[in-house]
Amino acid sequence: KGPRLWLQPERKNSNGSVEAARWVIRDGGLKRSTGCTPGDLAGAEAALAEYIAQKHDPRRNVGQPSHVLIVDVLNVYARDVAPLHARPRESAAMIARLASWWGSPLEASRKAIGPKPLLTGFVSDINAANCHAYVAFVGATRSASRDLEMLRAALRHAQEQRILEGTVKVTLPPKSKPRERWLTRSEVAKLVWTAWRGGRSANGRSGEGDNWHMRRHLARFILLAVYTGSRKQDVLNASFVRHADHGFVDLERGVWTRKAASKAATRKKQTTIPLPTGLLAHLRRWCRAGQTFAVEFNGRKVDNISKAFRALVAECGLDAGVIPHALRHTGVTWAMQNGVELWEAAGYFGMTVQTLM
């Protein structure tokens, strides 16, 4: 039988003393007193819950891969490391996706695409065949690769914390070719013009002649991204009001601090940059119009622009390679075409000279 409560009755000891009735925990041949009287059932239940939690805590012993659950490894990583990441919510979502597949053998077998993976839920399941099966399950090579990198980091942390013994190899999919798509000036102009003039008619389709201007936030996003070569999230977090969680656009000094004060520093440098004169004029006008953020929709900050951007690209007849990050490539490419020095461009765009090349 598993851990359970048992009310030990009053009993007399050999020396004549009387031991009062107590709730005790029984687990196989183990018997442990909770110290709770018969009337304190709630306290006894709490003691039992604590005992069960301690019994199943993966930190208690170093285990072989065939004895350590993958969900235990992921849970420890989620508690210890993931909250310190630059984007903890995104890390939590990746861990949840990993756990839903690696930690649920039956569910993984049901959702598998192609040959069924042989999973038991333990770390020993991690091999090349199952890693390839996970990539097929996710469906997007880049996302699956990031997930598996997270799993590899969780395994290393488990080894450091003496939860896992030995090393386990995580097989990553081949790296995809770096994106080389950038936009010409006429392509950018078409995107901006379509977004600025486009609206939504009464039947729900895009069209002109109304005053709704439902996509002007896309035009602002494109202008800010191309002018500065900034990453998507930096543009969406750009605020005219100083706040610890957002980048700050100083309209008086004409300077944009792209990194939020509360955000941990990462390899993706978010340098503070001077704003081009033309862009600064746009930003000041948007602020006078009542905006708090550079990119707003219906007076509120935009958290995700990908879906609306895809629809705009399709309407303009551009290829699927035009994604928000292509605007960063565009800004960098235009700077190189204009003869900007490598070291100056690298500092402005927040990348190394090697990455720039």
Does the pLDDT value for residue 200 go beyond 70? no
% of the chain residues with pLDDT over 70: 93
Q: Which helix (H) or strand (E) holds 335?
A: helix 324-337
Number of Cβ within a 10 Å radius of residue 273: 18
Does the pLDDT value for residue 206 go beyond 70? no
Does the pLDDT value for residue 58 go beyond 80? no
Both tokens assigned to 8: 């030990």
pLDDT of residue 35: 86
pLDDT of residue 61: 56
pLDDT of residue 273: 92
The DSSP annotation for 257-319 comes to E-S-TTSPP-SS---EEEPPHHHHHHHHHHHHTT-SBSSEETTEE-S--HHHHHHHHHHTT--
Average pLDDT in the 52-67 region? 71
CA distance 217 to 196: 8
Looking at the DSSP assignment, which residues form a beta bridge with residue 122?
A: 69
DSSP three-state, residue 98: helix
Does the pLDDT value for residue 262 go beyond 60? yes
Look over the chain and give the mean of its residue pLDDT values, rounded to a whole number: 87
CA distance 202 to 200: 7
Closest CA to 235 of 314, 332, 303, 316: 303
Number of Cβ within a 10 Å radius of residue 41: 13
pLDDT of residue 315: 93
pLDDT of residue 333: 94
CA distance 77 to 123: 14
Does the pLDDT value for residue 201 go beyond 80? no
pLDDT of residue 209: 45
Q: Alpha carbon 56 to chain centroid distance?
A: 28
Using one digit for the tens of pLDDT, what is the confidence trace for 289-317?
A: 999 999 999 889 998 898 999 999 999 99
DSSP three-state, residue 137: helix
Does the pLDDT value for residue 258 go beyond 80? yes
Does the pLDDT value for residue 112 go beyond 80? no
